């Protein structure tokens, strides 16, 4: 500090202790300000973070929370105590500086006064020497002036207060005192030599002695003041050393507390991050369990529906078996009746008799076609019992023929088994007709029984063959066939009484047989006949079976009577006439009608007509990885024609596809179908070729993309693509779906650059080859 004071004094003039202590106070003020800022931060942490810690579920134990809070409060108290000590130290330094400045100023004033008195003394001595002796006068004056100059030079800067300067000043003052004593002695000698002088001169010497004594006392007081200043300086140095040690301890304490606080904040952040990761993992596991749960529910529902369908089929088969057993029993009963009444029937077949037991018989021409079994039984009977020549032109049949609803045409007889359904062949009416045509008389019942039994066995064989061939026509044909079979189980068919065979009953059964055509035949007409040639029944069968819209069949039966009317319907007619309120259902019907209208113009039906809504909802959505929308597509009956007309607003408004990427995935899947002309066979063929090789990626399904991801050693991320909508068309046809988007879809963290670079290289090798 002394060197600083010396430098400052030499550069900028006199510097006081107040100025020096003021600079130190500024440094202490900056330290106090930093302590105040740290105190505010700790207070803010105690107020805000404590609430955050209380709101968190499991960051710390309650004891750890209390320990942290008490530590923060202790740090705050320590900082406040340090601030108070520093402020009190600053105040003490100010007061000490003021005292030192006052003492220095008083000492300077005294030195100035001494200098003035010495100057006056030198002047008087010069006068005395001038008056007393000329030889000694100039030398004494010169020595006095030199002493005065040296004293003035030595005491020029008394206010610096440095210890070295003070010592030099004391030594100089001692030299001056020594010189003054020498001068005193010299003056005393001069006075002794000049005893004979004037009384005024004696008085002047006495006064000078008194003044010198006073000056000596003042010099002694100045020495005491200098000693007191030295003691105060030593005390200030000790206090300064203590203060510096306290500040160092305080800084060390603050640094340790800051380090503890940083460690705590770091541990807290790490614990919070681990908690967030655990929560994310739990959420992901929850989503996975939810998907598994819904998948199990869906599988259980499908299994239940399948079991219900199997149970219904089993019930239908049981009912069919019961019906067949009943038919067999009735056939056996009819056979027994026929074998008993052969003589009677032979007598009834004589020419010229047209009435038997008061009932009119139906006459059938001999050239009418019969089934193979009936014809074989007739030939056997005729060979054993030749008929009357007149019977070659006409054959009389028993009243059983009055139960027959219609006569088999020549074309159906020529086609044989191909034109008859299993229900028509195996119906009791057909069997009764075959049995009742054995009209040839003969006394031997064995020749009659064997051909009929053989014909029944042939019919059973034909029935089994037809059942195998017709198994794929669906449940509707079986339902209608069963209805026809139930209608054919008329007890009057096996009743020998002729009272039930009336012309009115025959006409009613004939009209019913003509009006109720088999739905399977109607569907076949749909496939082979232009729409303009359709009748009302064909239109209804098309709407129910092909379009899967049985809810509109009743309104269609009331308002649409032919295919021509159906071709001319507009959207308003579909809504008002058929009651089609759903816009997507109206669109489906309109697109189908336009397709058939184009077919009427000479072109064939589009390949999209072969893609029904079951294939779209179950197979196609599963292939593109969006099976979660299967129910919505199933409800709206979205088929191949509708897929080609879907837009983003339709997906979002009607089919609940709100995610933009899922919309893009569906539209790109439709684009792929458009590229293959909606040919399911071509698409399956291309997919089969690339199943084991990484070729033709545009036709890859979502499952094939998952297999490729597992093959490139990213199997831990492959499950993230399930139900994500990522398939081959997205990877090839969407330019914005690059490696970064694929990594995001897979859930690869952004920090794993090596995995992302590996994925980019594999994608460029397969999906974007050079």
Instruction: Round to whole Å and give the CA distance between 73 and 69.
Output: 6
Question: 360 phi and psi, to 5 degrees?
Answer: -80, 140
Contacts of 320 (CB under 8 A, 6+ apart): 482
Residue in 315, 323, 312 with CA at minimum distance from that of residue 463: 323
**What pLDDT digit, counting tens, does each position of 7-42 carry?**
444 444 455 667 777 777 777 778 778 777 877 877
The number of beta carbons lying within 10 Å of the beta carbon of residue 297 is 10
> What's the first-to-final CA gap in the chain, in angstroms?
79
Cβ atoms 381, 447 nearer than 8 A: yes
The kind and range of the H/E element at 394 are strand 394-396
Instruction: Round to whole Å and give the CA distance between 710 and 542.
Output: 46
The number of beta carbons lying within 10 Å of the beta carbon of residue 224 is 10
Residues listed for the chain: 770
Cβ atoms 673, 683 nearer than 8 A: yes
The kind and range of the H/E element at 282 are helix 199-340
**What pLDDT digit, counting tens, does each position of 305-354 carry?**
888 889 888 988 988 898 888 888 888 877 777 775 544 444 433 333 33
H helices, E strands: number in the chain: 33, 4
Q: Which residues pair with 46 in a beta bridge?
A: none
The number of beta carbons lying within 10 Å of the beta carbon of residue 391 is 17
Tokens, residue 93: 């330094």
Give the 3-state secondary structure of residue 356: strand
Instruction: Round to whole Å and give the CA distance between 636 and 645.
Output: 14
Token look-up 């990761």 returns 277
Handedness of CA 543, 549, 550, 554 (dihedral sign): negative
Tokens, residue 454: 């053989």
pLDDT of residue 162: 57
Instruction: Round to whole Å and give the CA distance between 526 and 523.
Output: 5
Cβ atoms 752, 759 nearer than 8 A: no
Question: 303 phi and psi, to 5 degrees?
Answer: -65, -40
pLDDT of residue 161: 52
CA 749 to chain centre: 14
**Domain 621-766 coded CATH 1.10.150.50:** yes
Tokens, residue 543: 């709407």
Tokens, residue 416: 């044989």
Tokens, residue 666: 């569906």
Contacts of 747 (CB under 8 A, 6+ apart): 717, 720
Contacts of 349 (CB under 8 A, 6+ apart): 387, 388, 391, 395, 396, 439, 440, 441
Q: Which residues pair with 355 in a beta bridge?
A: 360
The number of beta carbons lying within 10 Å of the beta carbon of residue 150 is 14
The upper half-sphere exposure of residue 410, i.e. CA atoms within 13 Å in the direction of its Cβ, equals 4
What CATH number does the domain located at 520-605 have?
Answer: 1.10.150.50
pLDDT of residue 468: 44
Cβ atoms 525, 538 nearer than 8 A: yes
Max Cα-Cα span within the chain: 220
Tokens, residue 47: 């107020």
> What DSSP string describes 432-466?
HHHHHT-----S-SHHHHHHHHHHHHHHHHHHHHH
Instruction: Round to whole Å and give the CA distance between 98 and 103.
Output: 9
pTM for this one? 0.39
Low-confidence ranges of the chain (pLDDT < 50): 1-13, 132-148, 150-160, 197-203, 342-457, 459-460, 463, 466-517, 770
Alpha helices in 341-403 (DSSP H): 342-348, 372-384
Contacts of 530 (CB under 8 A, 6+ apart): 563, 596, 599, 600
Axis-axis angle for helices 372-384, 446-469 (nearest 10): 170
> For the purposes of burial, counting CB atoms within 10 Å of the CB of 635, is it exposed (0-12), middle (13-18) or buried (19 or more)?
middle
| DSSP code of residue 49 | I
Give the 3-state secondary structure of residue 671: helix
Instruction: Round to whole Å and give the CA distance between 562 and 533.
Output: 7
Parallel/antiparallel/unpaired status of strands 394-396 and 363-365:
antiparallel
> What DSSP string describes 737-755?
--HHHHHHHHT--TT-HHH
Cβ atoms 176, 147 nearer than 8 A: yes
Question: 197 phi and psi, to 5 degrees?
Answer: -80, -165
The number of beta carbons lying within 10 Å of the beta carbon of residue 737 is 20
Cβ atoms 6, 162 nearer than 8 A: yes
> For the purposes of burial, counting CB atoms within 10 Å of the CB of 555, is it exposed (0-12), middle (13-18) or buried (19 or more)?
middle
């Amino acid at each position: 500090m002394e060197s600083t004071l010396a430098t400052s004094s030499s550069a900028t003039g006199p510097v006081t202790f107040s100025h020096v202590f003021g600079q130190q106070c500024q440094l202490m003020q900056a330290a106090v300000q930093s302590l105040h800022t740290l105190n505010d931060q700790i207070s803010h942490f105690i107020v805000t973070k404590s609430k955050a810690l209380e709101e968190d579920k499991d960051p710390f134990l309650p004891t750890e929370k209390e320990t942290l809070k008490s530590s923060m409060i202790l740090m705050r108290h320590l900082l406040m105590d340090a601030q108070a000590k520093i402020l009190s130290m600053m105040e003490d330094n100010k007061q000490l500086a003021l005292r030192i400045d006052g003492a220095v100023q008083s000492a300077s004033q005294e030195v100035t006064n001494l200098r003035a008195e010495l100057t006056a003394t030198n002047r008087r001595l010069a006068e005395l020497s001038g008056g007393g002796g000329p030889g000694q006068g100039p030398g004494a004056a010169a020595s006095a002036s030199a002493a005065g100059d040296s004293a003035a030079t030595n005491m020029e800067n008394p206010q610096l207060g440095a210890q070295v300067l003070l010592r030099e000043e004391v030594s100089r003052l001692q030299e001056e005192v020594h010189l003054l004593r020498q001068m005193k002695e010299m003056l005393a000698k001069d006075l002794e030599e000049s005893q004979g002088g004037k009384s005024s001169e004696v008085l002047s010497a006495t006064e000078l002695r008194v003044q010198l004594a006073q000056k000596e006392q003042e010099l002694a007081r100045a020495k005491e003041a200098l000693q007191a200043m030295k003691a105060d300086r030593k005390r200030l140095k000790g206090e300064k050393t203590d203060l510096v040690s306290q500040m160092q301890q305080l800084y060390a304490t603050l640094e340790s507390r800051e380090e503890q606080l940083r460690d705590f904040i770091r541990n807290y952040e790490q614990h919070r991050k681990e908690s967030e990761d655990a929560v994310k993992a739990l959420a992901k596991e929850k989503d996975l369990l939810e998907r598994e749960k819904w998948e199990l529910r869906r599988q259980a529902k499908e299994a239940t529906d399948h079991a219900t369908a199997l149970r219904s089929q089993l019930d239908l088969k049981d009912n069919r078996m019961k019906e067949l057993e009943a038919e067999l029993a009735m056939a056996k009963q009819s056979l027994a009746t026929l074998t008993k009444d052969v003589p009677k029937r032979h007598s009834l077949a004589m020419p010229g008799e047209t009435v038997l037991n008061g009932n009119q018989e139906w006459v059938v021409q001999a050239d009418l076609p019969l089934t193979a079994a009936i014809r074989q039984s007739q030939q056997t009977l005729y060979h054993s019992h030749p008929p009357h020549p007149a019977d070659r032109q006409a054959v009389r049949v028993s009243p059983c023929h009055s139960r027959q609803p219609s006569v088999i045409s020549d074309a159906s007889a020529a086609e044989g088994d191909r034109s008859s359904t299993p229900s028509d062949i195996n119906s009791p009416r057909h069997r009764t007709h075959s049995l009742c045509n054995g009209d040839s008389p003969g006394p031997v019942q064995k020749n009659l029984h064997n051909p009929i039994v053989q014909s029944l066995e042939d019919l059973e064989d034909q029935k089994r063959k037809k059942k195998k061939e017709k198994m794929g026509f669906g449940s509707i044909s079986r339902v209608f066939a069963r209805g026809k079979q139930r209608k054919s189980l008329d007890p009057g068919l096996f009743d020998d009484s002729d009272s039930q065979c009336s012309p009115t009953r025959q006409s009613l059964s004939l009209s019913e047989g003509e009006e109720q055509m088999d739905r399977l035949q109607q569907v076949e007409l749909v496939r082979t006949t232009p729409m303009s040639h359709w009748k009302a029944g064909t239109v209804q069968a098309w709407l129910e079976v092909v379009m899967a819209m049985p809810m509109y069949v009743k309104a269609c039966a009331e308002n649409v009577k032919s295919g021509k009317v159906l071709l001319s319907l507009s959207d308003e007619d579909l809504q008002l006439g058929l009651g089609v309120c759903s816009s997507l259902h109206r669109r489906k019907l309109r697109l189908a009608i336009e397709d058939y209208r184009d077919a009427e113009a000479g072109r064939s039906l589009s390949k999209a007509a072969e893609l029904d809504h079951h294939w779209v909802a179950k197979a196609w959505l599963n292939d593109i990885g969006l099976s979660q929308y299967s129910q919505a597509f199933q409800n709206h009956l979205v088929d191949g024609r509708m897929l080609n007309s879907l837009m983003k607003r339709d997906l979002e408004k009607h089919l609940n596809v709100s995610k933009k990427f899922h919309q893009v995935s569906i539209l790109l899947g439709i684009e792929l179908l458009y590229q293959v002309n909606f040919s399911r066979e071509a698409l399956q063929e291309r997919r089969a070729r690339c199943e084991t090789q990484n070729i033709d990626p545009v036709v890859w399904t979502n499952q094939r993309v998952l297999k490729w991801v597992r093959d490139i050693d990213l199997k831990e991320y492959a499950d993230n693509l399930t139900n994500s909508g990522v398939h081959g068309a997205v990877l090839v046809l969407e330019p914005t779906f690059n490696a970064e988007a694929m990594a995001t879809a897979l859930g690869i963290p952004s920090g794993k650059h090596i995995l992302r670079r590996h994925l980019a290289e594999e994608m460029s090798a397969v999906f974007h080859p050079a």
